[in-house]
Chain A
């Protein structure tokens, strides 16, 4: 356990972009990580009955220490409940509603100060229909405001999109999420691996060329043997447009403390590391841009 802030990842995007699929994947591959999953409403999470240990009105306790809660129209109350959970979850996954603006959610969560920190806003966009959504007068500003808040933008369903749709979707993301790291994904597997980013993931190769649409991703491991200024190191990493995700531990030069660095797209968090971890940083980058 680290005594840093409770980290939270916001998974946002319009209906049908694959948010629930991703959350389910993450739950299924939790692998010991105790997630607190927050959804707008129960119903779409196909949680296997045998995983459910206890069920309340708005909180389901799952085997393995994960919990799932629905926040309805009071996100902040539910969030406070998650913060005060005993034992503390390792990570909060917040599935935003399809019309929610993730930037507003992140701003609201900032009110929890040092208790909860937004690790990143992962914005999923369905490559097949993204340009249709932009053309829909009821939706366009909602979708572009969602994109503008993304730290990591994921084009999903790229295996279903035509080359023309892909090209338009890429352009939309470039126009409306200019600061986000961008990846392309067929299913939720890739995004899941990126978000989990545990040691074993470093053995995988990301973005193998199933389709010609993929942005190729590479994993880099840095030993971090020498002390660095943790904040400025993280800052540099976040400014590098190729860096999609980073996670690991490093020694801070000014005070010699071992720190944990978590980064999603342009957003990062640096906080004191748990006692037993070692230096070393895993970075996922896009290659060839």
Chain B
């Protein structure tokens, strides 16, 4: 059965046929985009006019996010910014610490079990003049139940006295830089870094495996995709044990699940040899909605956590260099073997020294195993300079830049972590575009909200949360932004032959928009209203999910 959708406008992202009024599909595959009379030649069809006043784009591709975003929505959101829940409820941001506490008190009042934990997420004290939160404030909500608030960065947590007690940390004599002490010699309740957070997080209701996602979380993640116009999304750091893969098969195999999921196998906790073997075993288990067999390597830490590896001149505030999360020899082993076997690898490199290590390692690996379309991608790649982008281009690497980070934490990078000059050139999408490096831009949801149109706005405007324009020369155009969130991201996943544009032979995955992004323009792209999506011909309305 052939269906032809009519639309106000179809932005195909196919440069050979950029705009159309109709798109014909059969069995989830696009027959063509054009006008009705041309498409009618495919045979009998049903004309669907539901989208006659809408604008269609290819379904957006989020090349760096985590299913964890879905799991977190079972906890209380206390972020500074308004954020839409998977169910479409706008969670009004908390502009002050008092309102964070008020929101927690409201959540507390709804709980029956007086000792059950109260987990909350997305606190960001940099918007409250870096006012520190302490356990006494959280104790005002409850002294009976453990309370924990994960910061938006994911690197810090605040907990109440009960939580410290349960974790055995309410005692004098603690000597750890991640555990600030109060005047009484006891921890203040602020916990910095994964080593410190992990023993407490289980007591406050966060899962043991923070990156894992349960069934309910996956469905909530799917709803967020529909609201954001996303039809293909990565789960960029998954361990993928058998039960997790089975769960992903079950959920994505359901016809009503609205997204294609691309989980990348995280390198941690497994030897490089076993890592390669694991993804080789997983690859044949792929389906059209679950794409397995790719690797994610985390090379360094984060810039705001001062664990990213930086080249000279290092951190602006004089902090010592960060940490390697993989030994260079192990990185080389994975890159070489993955090239030899045709396995796609994405490398998280926040700092420019980590980026350079991947460049140097890749250069040697390619000499051993020449490949022209490997699509190996540097994720975040926030601090790369022009010379590095040139090497990235020469080696056939792609980048996926953290445009949203620039908006939310650019001010902090300017003032504290890397200083003005490097903050201006961070996430250099303009340079990537000038040098023709294949690039995407991302949200890293749940670190920032899933929403490619907003991410595109960030990369075009480079406006920080305080309103500072950070890096005029690295702004990109509307066309480049729209490409980055469709074909650009699809290319980094080796899926651009399948998704990312509306053209004959590709999957019938669309973002259905109320507004035309070309009319919304550079300033207004983030306000483009999303009606919903189409995935493989199935229609998903945001209002119904």
Convert B224-259 into 0s and 1s, putting 1 for each residue whose CB lies closer than 8 angstroms to a CB of A: 000000000000000101000000000000000000
Contacts of A97 in B (CB 8 A): 327
Q: Give residues of chain B (313-363) contacting chain A, Cβ–Cβ below 8 Å.
A: 320-321, 323-330, 353, 357
Contacts of B169 in A (CB 8 A): 111
Contacts of A41 in B (CB 8 A): 269-271, 274
The segment from A27-35, A47-55, A70-78, A235-243 found at the interface with B is: A70-78
Convert A84-127 into 0s and 1s, putting 1 for each residue whose CB lies closer than 8 angstroms to a CB of B: 00000000000001110100100110111101000000000000
Contacts of A98 in B (CB 8 A): 327, 330
Q: Is residue B179 contacting chain A, with contact meaning CB distance below 8 A? A: yes
Q: Chain A contact residues (Cβ within 8 angstroms of B): what range?
A: 20 to 34
Q: Give residues of chain B (172-191) contacting chain A, Cβ–Cβ below 8 Å.
A: 173-177, 179
Q: Is residue B198 contacting chain A, with contact meaning CB distance below 8 A? A: yes
Q: Say whether, besides A76-B195, A76-B199, A111-B174, A141 and B269 are in contact (CB < 8 Å).
A: no
**B97, chain A: closest CB distance, angstroms:** 26
- Option from B176, B241, B268, B270 in Cβ contact (under 8 Å) with A108: B176
Contacts of A142 in B (CB 8 A): 323-324
Judge whether B269 and A71 touch: CB under 8 Å: yes
A72 and B269 CA atoms in complex are apart in Å by 3
29 CB-based A-B contacts, threshold 8 Å: A15-B327, A40-B269, A42-B271, A43-B274, A57-B241, A70-B269, A72-B269, A73-B194, A73-B269, A76-B198, A97-B327, A98-B330, A99-B323, A99-B325, A99-B326, A101-B323, A107-B177, A108-B176, A110-B175, A110-B176, A111-B169, A111-B199, A113-B168, A113-B171, A113-B174, A115-B168, A138-B353, A139-B328, A142-B324
A4 and B209 CA atoms in complex are apart in Å by 31
Judge whether B176 and A111 touch: CB under 8 Å: yes
A98 and B329 CA atoms in complex are apart in Å by 10
A70 and B326 CA atoms in complex are apart in Å by 16
B353's nearest neighbour on chain A, judged by CB, is: A138
**B365, chain A: closest CB distance, angstroms:** 15
Judge whether A73 and B327 touch: CB under 8 Å: no
A57-B241, A99-B327 given; name 20 further pairs at CB < 8 Å: A14-B327, A41-B269, A43-B273, A43-B274, A73-B266, A76-B195, A77-B198, A98-B330, A107-B175, A107-B177, A107-B195, A111-B169, A111-B174, A111-B196, A113-B174, A115-B168, A138-B353, A139-B328, A141-B321, A142-B324
Binding site for B on A (CB under 8 A): 14-15, 40-44, 57, 70-77, 80, 97-99, 101, 104, 107-108, 110-113, 115, 138-139, 141-142
Convert B423-454 into 0s and 1s, putting 1 for each residue whose CB lies closer than 8 angstroms to a CB of A: 00000000000000000000000000000000
Q: Is residue B208 contacting chain A, with contact meaning CB distance below 8 A? A: yes
A115 and B169 CA atoms in complex are apart in Å by 12
Judge whether B330 and A15 touch: CB under 8 Å: yes
- Option from A73, A112, A141 in Cβ contact (under 8 Å) with B268: A73
Judge whether A108 and B208 touch: CB under 8 Å: no
**B170, chain A: closest CB distance, angstroms:** 10
A74 and B176 CA atoms in complex are apart in Å by 18
Q: Chain B contact residues (Cβ within 8 angstroms of A): what range?
A: 35 or more
Q: Is residue B133 contacting chain A, with contact meaning CB distance below 8 A? A: no
**B245, chain A: closest CB distance, angstroms:** 14
Binding site for A on B (CB under 8 A): 168-169, 171, 173-177, 179, 194-196, 198-199, 202, 208-209, 239, 241, 266, 268-271, 273-274, 320-321, 323-330, 353, 357
**B349, chain A: closest CB distance, angstroms:** 12
Judge whether A107 and B176 touch: CB under 8 Å: yes
Contacts of A108 in B (CB 8 A): 176, 195-196
A99 and B195 CA atoms in complex are apart in Å by 16
A77 and B327 CA atoms in complex are apart in Å by 23
Judge whether A72 and B268 touch: CB under 8 Å: yes
**B234, chain A: closest CB distance, angstroms:** 19
Contacts of B328 in A (CB 8 A): 138-139
Query: Chain B at the A interface: mostly helix, strand, loop or mixed?
Result: loop
Judge whether A75 and B195 touch: CB under 8 Å: yes
**B466, chain A: closest CB distance, angstroms:** 33
Contacts of B168 in A (CB 8 A): 112-113, 115
Contacts of A73 in B (CB 8 A): 194, 266, 268-269
Contacts of B202 in A (CB 8 A): 77
B202's nearest neighbour on chain A, judged by CB, is: A77
Contacts of B327 in A (CB 8 A): 14-15, 97-99
Contacts of A74 in B (CB 8 A): 194, 198, 208-209
Contacts of A57 in B (CB 8 A): 241
A97 and B175 CA atoms in complex are apart in Å by 23
A112 and B168 CA atoms in complex are apart in Å by 7
**A169, chain B: closest CB distance, angstroms:** 19
**A271, chain B: closest CB distance, angstroms:** 16
A76 and B168 CA atoms in complex are apart in Å by 13
- Option from B174, B199, B209, B241 in Cβ contact (under 8 Å) with A80: B199
Contacts of A107 in B (CB 8 A): 175-177, 195
Contacts of B271 in A (CB 8 A): 41-44
Judge whether B329 and A15 touch: CB under 8 Å: yes
Contacts of A70 in B (CB 8 A): 269
The CB with the most chain A CB atoms within 10 A, among B241, B266, B270, B327, is that of: B327
Contacts of B325 in A (CB 8 A): 99
Contacts of A111 in B (CB 8 A): 169, 174, 176, 179, 195-196, 199
A98 and B169 CA atoms in complex are apart in Å by 29
**A48, chain B: closest CB distance, angstroms:** 18
**B129, chain A: closest CB distance, angstroms:** 29
A41 and B320 CA atoms in complex are apart in Å by 28
Contacts of A71 in B (CB 8 A): 269
The CB with the most chain B CB atoms within 10 A, among A14, A72, A75, is that of: A72
A73 and B209 CA atoms in complex are apart in Å by 10
A157 and B237 CA atoms in complex are apart in Å by 37
B356's nearest neighbour on chain A, judged by CB, is: A138
Contacts of B241 in A (CB 8 A): 57
A141 and B353 CA atoms in complex are apart in Å by 13
A183 and B241 CA atoms in complex are apart in Å by 42
Shortest beta-carbon contacts, A-B, top 5: A72-B269, A43-B271, A108-B195, A73-B268, A99-B324
The CB with the most chain A CB atoms within 10 A, among B174, B274, B328, is that of: B328
